[in-house]
Amino acid sequence: MKNQRSGLVYSAPITLWLTLLFVVPTLIVIVYSFLKKGTYGGVEWIFSANGYNFFSSSYFLKVVWNTVEISVAATVITVLIAIPVALYIATSKYKNFLLFLIIVPFWTNFLIRIYSWIALLGNNGLLNKLFIKLGLEPHQFLYNKSAVILVSVYAYLPYAILPLYSAIEKFDFAMIDAARDLGASKMTAYSKTFLPNIKPGIITATLFTFIPALGSYAIPKLVGGNNSQMLGNIIARELTITRNWPKAAAISTILTIVTVAFIFTLSKYDKDHKGGDV
Amino acid sequence: MKQGNIKIDSISKSFDGVEVLKNISFEIKGGEFFSILGGSGCGKTTLLRMIAGFIEADGGAIYLGNEEITHLSPNKRDVNTIFQTYALFPHLTIYENIAFPLRLKKIKDAEIDREVKKYLEMVKLSEHANKYSSQLSGGQKQRVAIARALINKPKVLLLDEPLSALDAKLRQHMLIELDNIHEEVGITFVFVTHDQQEALSVSDRIAVMKDGEVLQIGTPSEIYESPANAYIADFIGETNFIEGEVVEVEDEFGYMESPNYGRIKFELDKDVVVGNHVKLTIRPEKVKVSKSKPRYLDDNDNIFKGKIEEMIYSGFQSKFFVTVEDKLFSAFKQHVDFFEEDAETIHWKDEVYVIWDSADSFLLEVM
């Protein structure tokens, strides 16, 4: 009993913090989504579900599709790259140095890092200058879905590598030997022992990539084109240009629900078939 | 000959320019409990992993039965391993751990079930089938590893220091269990260990390794009683060494003059001539210590005087360390009677006589 009470006391600051900075703002967004839009932005305190009428818009559905497509592609590619990279780092002699290299990009502002991709791949970028020098046709790399996916993979890769690294570091590689010894080929040994044992790392890496990707704003804004706009961009437009706050709030609410549902499903999957600690 | 015999033929291996195995050749008989014994870095684990297929030899060949397996990958060899850390799969139940090799072979569920239950029974883990390895004790994990390695019915079971993670009592228990299982399945066991007690107690034969070479292969008593050299004598159990120059040679016995112990009689286990420099080993348990000079001395007895430097009482025996000149000589006395009631209690700093039968020493080296 005493322990439970002191637990409440100790968790009070973080509970307060989360309530004030996450729960309350989210509630405000949800409430705003059910209000009437003000003429010049803002809301009028009259109930209205008009914010949610976007489902009939084909443009909106297109953006939803873009968002899902780009996020899924970016996540799959990121995790597929992150697993071998994390495996390499975890088994390397120079793991501390390599981990340091993974963290180095965080020292530069996110936006600047996106802009540097423009400097690299833009129409007058480094790569195109090289193409011209080599006598090749210049190519428009940016302002399409692939560019958004590429830069997203770049941006979220460290977030995927780090949890995978910590899962792989705990993995006992004698298990690979054991599986081989018991008759498994190299591929089978990895898929039957390595992958299931780093599953928590894979799930965390997926969450850490997919969730920020769903809410992307800056990346599609800067390197995407008209056909690769994502929900984040629409929310911003409704808020600042069209000035339809209830609609922006409604899209945000839907996005929040999807994200929470996703986290919930994956973390439940993580707990399934789990037999005690590794 | 039984199947499951292994032939190691001129195997050599280097890591980063360091020779770990130096042109090793020997044979392991089918169905034998064979131990490879040596200190850390002697190459024993490298050799075991080579038989398992995890390390490729630089030169030489390995045969299992009549088949050369030198270049086969681990999954293609009729050999299974018990790893030092057991390497159980934590994401699978005990049942599924043991079923793992059979599932790979895509055997029917009913048959897998029958086999797994049989092996669970054998290692006495039937009621733990649905647990995970994290819920088991060290000894139980060990038994899962044994069942998992045996269910494939390999011709050879390799054991890589399997008892090193267990406490002393459990280690004894598992040794007996391993011995029983060996009896039951009848296949070849190759047991790698640094612990001479483990090797002595279960092996049919032992290979003693040092610095990538096999120094001696023999039965436990051969290795203990007639070690090939001073290193083995010292490595296997405790012993005393006596060096000196041969001064007289008879039919079966010789005499040497030792700078520390004087004139010593010894059995001629090897050919010597007067003038040879020789080294003897005499095991402490074969040496008697006595406060008074024995009334009757056999013609073959060696005797000299020393002073008790150290006494270690350990229940079933006492260890006496006697200084003679500036050398330490050890003698172990088994306490068959009550120690407290021993007629002639020996104390620290006592002057004592050290006695042994010259037939009990072993002539190690003639130089």
pLDDT tens digits along A69-88: 999 999 999 999 999 999 99
If one compares A274 and B359, the residue with the highest pLDDT of the two is B359
Across the interface, of A178, A188, A196, the residue whose CB is closest to B87 is A178
pLDDT recorded at residue B272: 87
Closest alpha carbon to B161 in B184, B145, B140, B181: B145
User: B82 vs B144, B157, B199, B260, CA distance in Å?
Assistant: 10, 8, 16, 48
Residue B110 lies in a domain: yes
Judged against a pLDDT cut of 60, whether residue A2 lies above it is answered with: no
- Reported in sequence order, the residue ranges of A95-181 that DSSP labels E, i.e. its strands, are none
Kindly state whether A31 is in contact with chain B, defined as any CB-CB distance less than 8 angstroms: no
Residue B233 lies in a domain: no
3-state secondary structure of B8: strand
Q: What is the DSSP letter of A194?
A: I
Under an 8 A CB cutoff, do B104 and A183 touch? yes
Classify residue A265 by burial, with Cβ atoms within 10 Å: 0-12, 13-18, 19+. exposed
Q: Which residue type, as a one-letter code, is found at position A162?
A: L
Cβ(B240)–Cβ(B289) below 8 Å:
no
Residue B168 lies in a domain: yes
Same domain, B262 and B140: no
Query: Could you give the CA distance from residue A234 to residue A238 in angstroms, rounded to a whole number?
Result: 6
Residue B1 lies in a domain: no
Residue B293 lies in a domain: yes
Cβ(B112)–Cβ(B90) below 8 Å:
no
Interval A177-200 mean pLDDT: 95
Q: In this predicted structure, which of A17-31, A216-230, B136-150, B256-270 has the lowest mean pLDDT?
A: B256-270
pLDDT recorded at residue A277: 40
pLDDT recorded at residue B339: 64
Radius of gyration of chain B (CA): 25
* Mutant choice from B75, B146, B190 vs A, greatest count of A C-beta within 10 A: B75
Residue B232 lies in a domain: no
The band of A3, judged by pLDDT with boundaries at 50, 70 and 90, is low
Cβ count near A113 (within 10 Å): 14
pLDDT recorded at residue B340: 60
Q: How many CB pairs under 8 A join A and B?
A: 82
* Mutant choice from B89, B119, B144, B190 vs A, greatest count of A C-beta within 10 A: B89
Query: Could you give the CA distance from residue B220 to residue B197 in angstroms, rounded to a whole number?
Result: 10
Chain B residues 98-117 with a CB less than 8 Å from chain A = 100-101, 104-105
pLDDT recorded at residue B250: 87
Same domain, B184 and B278: no
pLDDT recorded at residue B343: 53
Under an 8 A CB cutoff, do B134 and A276 touch? yes
CATH architecture of structural domain A52-271 = Orthogonal Bundle (1.10)
| Sign of the CA dihedral running A105, A108, A110, A112 | negative
Same domain, B223 and B362: no
Ranges of chain B whose pLDDT falls below 50: 1
Judged against a pLDDT cut of 50, whether residue A36 lies above it is answered with: yes
Q: Parse chain A into domains and list their residue ranges.
A: 52-271
Same domain, B162 and B283: no
If one compares A67 and A7, the residue with the highest pLDDT of the two is A67
Domain ranges, residue B352:
240-366
User: A278 vs A168, A195, B133, B246, CA distance in Å?
Assistant: 12, 13, 9, 64
How many domains is chain B partitioned into structurally? Answer: 2
- A32 token code pair: 């705003």
User: A176 vs A267, B153, B211, B315, CA distance in Å?
Assistant: 26, 20, 28, 46
User: B302 vs B229, B238, B294, CA distance in Å?
Assistant: 22, 20, 12
Same domain, B209 and B298: no
**Summary count for chain A: helices (H), strands (E):** 14, 2
Judged against a pLDDT cut of 90, whether residue A189 lies above it is answered with: yes
Closest alpha carbon to B103 in A177, A198, A183, A195: A183
The angle, 0 to 180 degrees and rounded to 10, between the axes of the packed helices B109-122 and B138-150 is 130
Kindly state whether A216 is in contact with chain B, defined as any CB-CB distance less than 8 angstroms: no
Same domain, B67 and B140: yes
Under an 8 A CB cutoff, do B132 and A172 touch? no
pLDDT recorded at residue A275: 43
Judged against a pLDDT cut of 50, whether residue A276 lies above it is answered with: no
Query: Could you give the CA distance from residue B146 to residue B178 in angstroms, rounded to a whole number?
Result: 9
CATH number of the domain bearing residue B201: 3.40.50.300
pLDDT recorded at residue A202: 95
| Mean pLDDT over each residue of chain A, to the nearest integer | 91
Query: What is the per-residue pLDDT across A83-141, written as a single tens digit (0 to 9) for each?
Result: 999 999 999 999 999 999 999 999 999 999 999 999 999 999 999 999 999 999 989 99
Q: Which residue type, as a one-letter code, is found at position B366?
A: V
- B208 token code pair: 């003693």
pLDDT recorded at residue B349: 85
Cβ(B36)–Cβ(B190) below 8 Å:
yes
Radius of gyration of chain A (CA): 23
